[in-house]
Chains A and B, each alone.
Chain A
């Protein structure tokens, strides 16, 4: 990619990213929200995290990997017991690394 192309790419993508990140927050900031909108906003976190986990675990070419599912299962146990993000990240990586050694 030439520097000219890269600059066009950079400016266009940055504009979209900043608009997606800033516009809704600044537009809704300080406004009285209806109960229905507040309820919908409260549902975003579980919806987004479930979508991100599914996106990471499902590969359209290979389907669901038992190694990733088993490692995610180990993370669920650690999350339930400790609630610690850092322990979950470390156990998840270690479990997945070990499972990749299984033929």
Chain B
């Protein structure tokens, strides 16, 4: 049973993400309609895939007539960064029941990862149940927006680049709001430069995952150097 206070706290935390998802979910649903996915199917796909990048990619690859195996590989590859989020969140659900932990894990996205991690670190009262509610509320707004987009279809001309900048802005905010140190600078610079280099080389689908892994490695090296200098 969900306490009303948990729902209120989760709703306040999820609201920015939900609004962002509505703004980009509608154009994503419009694209889904263009490849023949109706409102109900768009809702089901969005609630289960729950992946903006994957769903935009699915529609554009289908429109381009990409072979099935390539579509599966491309959309699966953009989801691999979730491995890192899942590992990073594991300490915070150590005492949660396994079914709740599984539901929480299955509904994490880039944005809800950031929102929940911030709360887990800064708010002692933040629980896996509240975090899961944030994920589910965000998922519901995403799925509903996609269904709405699929319902109205191409009749709605929406500038996707402007709408999707809401998500970029959320990532910038989550990045800037963190406590910064020399190690953070090394992590951020390495991640960003690696992504740019990999995208320039044509490795678009894997760039975020590999960029983040490179950033973590750089941070570990910088941290070890810092400790070595402090000892010397």
Chain A residues engaging chain B, CB cutoff 8 angstroms: 1, 5, 8-10, 12-14, 16-18, 20-31, 33, 36, 38-60, 68, 71-72, 75-76, 78-80, 83-86, 88-93, 96-97, 100
Contacts and interface: CB of A to CB of B under 8 A. Distances in A.
27 contacts: A9-B58, A13-B54, A13-B75, A22-B86, A26-B101, A39-B219, A44-B87, A45-B88, A46-B178, A48-B81, A48-B208, A48-B212, A49-B174, A50-B191, A52-B168, A54-B191, A54-B193, A55-B211, A56-B164, A68-B165, A72-B168, A75-B176, A79-B176, A84-B173, A88-B16, A88-B173, A89-B166
Contact size class for B? 35 or more
A47 B215 contact: yes
Interface in B52-84: 54, 58, 62, 68, 71-72, 75-76, 79-84
Interface string B9-22: 00000011101100
Contacts of A39: 219-220, 223
A21 B164 CA distance: 23
Contact of A86 (B19, B35, B84, B192): B19
A54 to B, nearest CB: 4
Contacts, number: 270
Given A24-B90, A55-B199, A17 B49 contact: yes
Contacts of B80: 20
B89 interface: yes
Question: What are the 8 closest A-B residue pairs judged by CB atoms, nearest first?
Answer: A92-B169, A47-B215, A85-B16, A51-B211, A28-B90, A88-B173, A86-B16, A54-B192
B172 A53 contact: yes
B184 interface: yes
Contacts of B176: 75-76, 79-80
B200 interface: yes
Given A55-B208, A86-B15, 6 more contacts: A17-B76, A39-B219, A75-B172, A84-B16, A85-B17, A89-B173
A44 B85 contact: yes
Most chain B CB within a 10 A radius of its CB, from A51, A60, A97: A51
Interface string B29-60: 00000011000000001001111001000100
Contacts of B159: 97, 100
Nearest to B82: A20
B114 interface: yes
